[in-house]
Structure 1
Amino acid sequence: MSDFDKAFERTIKFEGGLSCHKDDKGGITKFGISSSSYPNLDITNLTIDKAKEIYRKDFWNKLKLDQIQFPLNALIFDFTVHSGQNRAVSSLQEILSISKDGIIGHTTLQAIKNKSEQNLKGLCIEYQHKRTLFILNLILSKQSYWDSFGRGWINRMVQSSNWIEQQFIYVTS
């Protein structure tokens, strides 16, 4: 299974089916694809295959995630789907101590390579920690976020942290 397929399979479990929640700025949303981001797309009739195609083209490929080692690429993908490219990439760039522009270009790819060669697991944990702090601050900023999304978002953060640990369990015979 490709890195993209593994990341997509993991993320889509959190994104769910059709919804239109009053506190969700995305409007009508299905499989995490929102009408505010794709105003010309018939969200209601969106298929899982079309959603996967959108995620591959507009998220995975755009972010050059095939050039980043698994599982970090899957974490970046999930953060981007959940909170947007600028937030996800800028958070990573801050950890890497490079200029934040929200774009994965040559400088970001090189910094990821350098840091992940030293300690990929540590980079993944630090990135997830940064994301979790962002989500907690967001939840605490508005009561309706907690009421509507808090438990689900916290569950997603806990599951993501546990998932990172599972990716680094080495079985020896």
Structure 2
Amino acid sequence: MSSFDDAFTALIGNEGGYSNNPRDPGGETMWGITARVARANGYAGAMKALPLQTAKAIAKREYWDPLCLDQFDARIAFQMFDANYNGGPTVRWAQQASGVPVDGKISPRTIDAIRATDPVEFCLRFLAYRLKYLTGLRAWPTFGRGWSGRIASNMLKGGS
């Protein structure tokens, strides 16, 4: 993966299309975009009709750009993007994986530390912190198989 476009294509392979699982705290989603996020970004239509290009624009604005992912190795950028899209303390995991103090802020210090970390080492640590977090969620019995499968697929896509 070399860009946002490649990362988004890989991410959509994880997300799929429409979902409205009553057990999912995110509620109704299309392309992994929740109704709440879609509405906050000006989309007023039915979620089942959310165009992929609209989801892509929202994903870049909400989940890619705030983490400055264009500054990182593509493998790191993809893992952080997928985690941010899926939910969880992405910056904290990145800070733990790169060995800087954890404050949850994507600062120049954090960016420099991530960039200085070997991408394979970073991805392995990052995914370990992500998986440990997910296994502690109350929703793990319902969604854990899918989440662990997602992480395994990400590793096979070159994330480590």
Determine which structure has more spread, i.e. the larger CA radius of gyration. Answer: 1
Residue 22 (structure 1) aligns with:
22
For structure 1, the residue ranges without an aligned partner over 5 or more in a row are: 169-173
Give the share of equivalent positions with the same residue, in percent.
29
Q: How far has the Cα of 1:89 moved from its partner?
A: 0.9
Residue number among 76, 97, 100 corresponding to 2:99 in the alignment: 97
| Residue 152 (structure 1) aligned with residue 151 (structure 2) | no
Residue 162 (structure 1) aligns with:
156
Residue 120 (structure 2) aligns with:
121
What code does the residue aligned with 2:13 have?
K
Change (3 A) 1:38 1:49: closer
Using the alignment, how far apart are the partners of 2:99 and 2:2 within structure 1? 30
| Residue 57 (structure 1) aligned with residue 51 (structure 2) | no
Q: How far has the Cα of 1:17 moved from its partner?
A: 1.0
How high is the TM-score relative to the length of structure 1?
0.80
Q: How far has the Cα of 1:163 moved from its partner?
A: 2.6
RMSD: 2.0
Does the CA-based 8 Å contact 1:3-1:70 persist in structure 2?
yes
What code does the residue aligned with 1:133 have?
K
Superposed CA offset, 1:35-67 (max 9, x none):
133335333321001111111122212211001
User: Comparing 22-31 with 98-107, which one deviates more in the overlay?
Assistant: 98-107
Give the number of the structure with larger relative contact order, counting CA–CA contacts within 8 Å between residues 6 or more apart.
Answer: 2
Q: How far has the Cα of 1:2 moved from its partner?
A: 4.3
List aligned pairs for 1:67-82, cutoff 5 A.
Answer: 67-82=71-86
For structure 2, the residue ranges without an aligned partner over 5 or more in a row are: none
Number of residue equivalences: 156
List aligned pairs for 1:27-38, cutoff 5 A.
Answer: 27-38=27-38
Q: How far has the Cα of 1:13 moved from its partner?
A: 1.0
Q: Equivalent residue of 1:151, what SS?
A: helix
What code does the residue aligned with 1:35 have?
A
Q: Equivalent residue of 2:103, what SS?
A: coil
Using the alignment, how far apart are the partners of 1:35 and 1:99 within structure 2? 34
Q: Equivalent residue of 2:36, what SS?
A: coil
Residue 171 (structure 1) aligns with:
none
Using the alignment, how far apart are the partners of 1:134 and 1:80 within structure 2? 13
Does the CA-based 8 Å contact 2:19-2:28 persist in structure 1?
yes
